[in-house]
Homo-oligomer: A and B are copies of this chain.
Amino acid sequence: MKLKRSSRLVDMTHYLLQHPHKLVSLSFFSERYASAKSSISEDLVIIKESFETQGIGKLTTVPGASGGVRFLPLVKKEAAEQFLHTLSATLTDTERLLPGGYLYMTDILGDPLTINEIGRLIASAFVTKQVDVIMTMETKGIPLAYATASQLNVPVVIVRRSSRVTEGSTVSINYISGSSKRIQSMVLPRRGLAPGSHVLVIDDFMKAGGTMKGMTNLIKEFDAELAGCAVLVETKEVSPKLVDGYLSLLKLGEMDQESDISVEIGNYFDYFQEDDLQ
């Protein structure tokens, strides 16, 4: 159906936001709106400018017959800093202290807008990396994994603590929890991960990094490749970690039951990618 520019802009914005990292040909939009490719090109210039000015992301153009346009969600540094400062302030509440040096984050992990923004931050850091699939361990990392996967447009595989009848045949490995030193299992459906795929591992919380380390071993078991690791909160307390080269959004200071909670920004900005694309 033929649409006016204003309506095209609204629909194209929606379409691009729903299909991040997907190469969309000019012909696709041209047919969708019964409009000339030259008009579509002009629309895309407007959208590109708005996305960049408002910190939504980049539109990159791939020239040639098989080319098109690709939307890459990307936060601005200033917006990321502001978001992480607000989040760390929310976490700095002594009522969140739990026995064992844990922090109550269930409410934060339950808020979709916050989770989606965290996903956008993680996806921004990996925007130029090859990521084919995102892996997480049940349960709390799952929303973060999906939020990131939505922005990178890749599937999610969930590692479980025990095998389930609903997953068919599985591969299981044992690992040692870094902080409790207990032997535990992790299980992934045999059909879950293709050999050679590049896996980004995501979790909500890392103390010693035992779970993360276990997942990197599981990736080897499937002859897949590690693309990176990202956590929402790491603790200062246990150092060095069992994995290195991970990204952390926030870092939790050492706590005793009496003292205040200190939460600072993690190593996120070392991984921040915005400049690479400018």
Contacts and interface: CB of A to CB of B under 8 A. Distances in A.
Interface of A: 1, 3, 5-7, 9-11, 13-14, 17-19, 46-47, 49-51, 53-54, 56, 98-100, 102-107, 110-113, 115-116, 138-140, 142-143, 146-147, 149-150, 153-158, 160, 165-168, 189, 191-192, 205
Given A98-B168, A104-B166, A166-B105, A51 B10 contact: yes
B107 A191 contact: yes
A112 B155 contact: yes
B102 A166 contact: yes
A3 B98 CA distance: 48
A150 B116 contact: yes
A100 B165 contact: yes
A181 B147 CA distance: 35
Q: Which of A104, A142, A147 gathers most chain B CB within 10 Å?
A: A142
B104 A167 contact: yes
Contacts of A13: 9-10, 13-14
A143 B136 CA distance: 12
Contact of A5 (B6, B100, B102, B143): B6
Contact of A158 (B3, B19, B110, B155): B110
A140 B167 CA distance: 11
A191 B53 contact: no
Nearest to A192: B106
A49 B6 CA distance: 10
Contact of A54 (B11, B51, B56, B158): B11
A50 B98 contact: no
A143 B141 CA distance: 11
Nearest to A160: B139
17 contacts: A10-B54, A17-B17, A18-B113, A98-B167, A104-B168, A106-B167, A106-B192, A112-B149, A112-B150, A112-B153, A112-B154, A112-B155, A113-B150, A138-B138, A139-B160, A142-B142, A143-B156
A205 to B, nearest CB: 7
Given A14-B56, A104-B189, 15 more contacts: A7-B53, A9-B10, A10-B51, A10-B54, A11-B50, A104-B168, A106-B158, A106-B191, A112-B155, A138-B139, A139-B160, A142-B143, A143-B156, A146-B146, A166-B205
Given A139-B138, A160-B139, A167-B106, A47 B113 contact: no
A260 B110 CA distance: 39
